[in-house]
Amino acid sequence: KNEVEQSPQNLTAQEGEFITINCSYSVGISALHWLQQHPGGGIVSLFMLSSGKKKHGRLIATINIQEKHSSLHITASHPRDSAVYICAVRSVAGGATNKLIFGTGTLLAVQP
């Protein structure tokens, strides 16, 4: 069982739809990242969360530390949002607090 799991793995939406991507983790963490990666491209950090909720433009990220769960929401989705969205946690296991453990990613396709 992966330490970081995302759902769904694949998501197709129509332009304008509200999108939710979920992330559950099983390890103790100091922070959780939501990342965006376009096909063949580099990674862009969207959010780093340790509690509560953050908003940036049409993107909202929430985290529930007790339930070990985080969600990424995209409002008014647009075809340019099409990308892989990755949840990654900064584990505190074994005292190592700097490396990230990545989820398997959610491939989002927003159709016009």
> Which stretches of the chain bind other proteins, using CB under 8 A?
30-31, 33, 35, 40-45, 48, 86, 88, 96-105
Closest distance to other proteins from the beta carbon of 31 (Å)? 8
Q: Is 107 exposed, middle or buried (0-12, 13-18, 19+ CB in 10 A)?
A: middle
Closest distance to other proteins from the beta carbon of 76 (Å)? 26
Nearest residue to 61 (alpha-carbon basis) of 36, 37, 83, 34: 34
Closest distance to other proteins from the beta carbon of 112 (Å)? 26
* Comparison of 43 and 60: residue with beta carbon closer to other proteins: 43
**Encoding tokens for residue 111?**
């159709």
